[in-house]
Every structure is written in C-alpha cells, then in structure tokens.
Amino acid sequence: MPFVKKRFVIAEEIQAFLYLIRTFNMRQGDAQRLIARGRLLLDGKSMFDSSRRIVGPIELVYFEPESRGIPPLFEARDFLVYEKESGVLVHPNTMATEYSLLDEIRDHSGGDANAVHRIDMETSGLLMASKDKSSEPALKMMFEKREIQKSYLAWVDGQVNGSFQVTAPLKVREDYATNKHKVCVDASGKKAETYFESLYYDRGLDATLLACFPHTGRTHQIRVHLFHVKHPILGDPLYGASFETANLYLEGQLSKEDRLRKTGASRLMLHAQSLRFHYKSSYEIESKIDFRGMKDLICEKKLRIFNA
C-alpha cells in the first residue's frame, strides 16, 4: 500500500511545517501542502494549520512507493519513460489506491520524481516522468505547448482505408443522467484536431489498426473523434457502448464476459506508441510492445454486441 500511516513522538514543541522540514528533509512548500491535505493527524484527526505548534504523539500519512520491479524503458539525466500497462493508474486517485505507476517512478528516482503528463488508466504505452523538481516544470510545459509530438495506435471497429483528419471541437459534459460520455462533439467546444492513418485491416475480426496523431490535447480526444466517425475504439466502455454498459463499467459491475462482447475487447485498445521532442538533445522514443499482436484481446465480430 503506497500510502502509509506512521506514528511519531515529538519531544519539544515546534511548528508543524518545521517539524516536517527538519525530520523528513522536505521543502517548505511540500510540507505545507501535506498538512493542507490533512495528512498530519493529532489525536486521530487531521489538522490543517501548518504554523500550529505541535508536541507529543502525532500520526503522518505519506506516500511510500512499493515497486513491482518494472524498470523504465528509457532513462536520461532529467527524465524517465515507462511502458504503462493497461489498467494501471498514473497517479493514485485515492489514498486507498494499491498501486500506480508513481510507485515505480519514485522507487527508481526518489520522492521528487513525478509524471509530467497523463494517459487514461486503460490506455497502455509510453509515459514520461521527471526525475526531480528542477526538470518537472520545463517538461510539463513542453507537453502543454505541444512541443512533444505523440502518436498512438488504436484497434477500431470496422474497415478504415487510407488516411483522414478529424477536426470536430470537443466539450466536457456536465450532465451524465442520460449519457455517460465525459466529452462530446459540440460546436461551442474547444478546437480539437487528430490525424489518422490506416495500417492494417483484419477481415476476420472486422477491425482496423490505426496510427493516431493528436495535434491538440483534449480529454479523450482520440476516443471521441473515432466514435464521431463511427469507428469506435474496440474495448471502449464509454464511447460506442450502451448507456447500461457504460453505467455498469463505471460502477465496477461489468463482468469480463459482458465487457468483451458489449465493447468488443477485454480492454481499451488504445496504446501510446511514440514520443518525439527536443530537450537538450533530440529524442524519438518508440514503444517496444507488439500492440498489433494484441488483437487476440478483441472479440470475434459475430459475438460483438454494440449498443445492446
């Protein structure tokens, strides 16, 4: 469990943030943020005043990485690149999260290392992390400014020929009462642009492997754009699935069998394939995963039930 609670006894009265700085070699900002998140407990209750003077027994909840022995795919002086598996979170979303890629990142490079961008939990592939606080802002800014070119691979329903571009604007939805889509195509939404290229068509599965090149970075962009052109990504439990299927998935009640038949695959068939950028030197990093070979995870066409 990466979040642990440990008990300490403070012999002499001291301001809370100073205790964390001196005892755990924290920066002042990190100490104050930890307290602001309620991670320092007195008498079993969170306290939030970082300047409050404390003494005696306290409890501290903090992140202690627990590696599963996964090494980075690529390592440079300032950053790491990992191959994230489908189903693994980049960051823990609650203190009860048992494992995320952050466990590997911080086990390898220490407590200041951090992921500098995100990919969906069910998306596999390349994920970059900074090794320290000094490199983190610059790397994050490169992603925000689209200075890092990303490519993805996707297995989609049906036959797709040649190349095409989708420029439909995207908007984050606020009402999920009748539709579980987090994002939709909407004229009032933000500009979104994705270029697609057909790589291979499997006639037996009636599925096409596409290379995907997002030129903007909207939430669920590739997934929504492919759903928009009626070639949803196989295994997508939100876009291309029925309301009932999506709702069962979000509630953690969708069986593996129904997931396979009603979404077309046992996982979201989307993979972060490459990163191209210049950061002190030029880099072009490619995933080593044989994503084309993962077509074994796709349900046979005759057994697939979309929008049931």
Residue 120 falls in the annotated catalytic set: yes
| Cα separation, 105 vs 114, whole angstroms | 7
Kindly name the residue from 120, 132, 202, 206 that is annotated as catalytic. Answer: 120
Residues catalogued as catalytic: 120
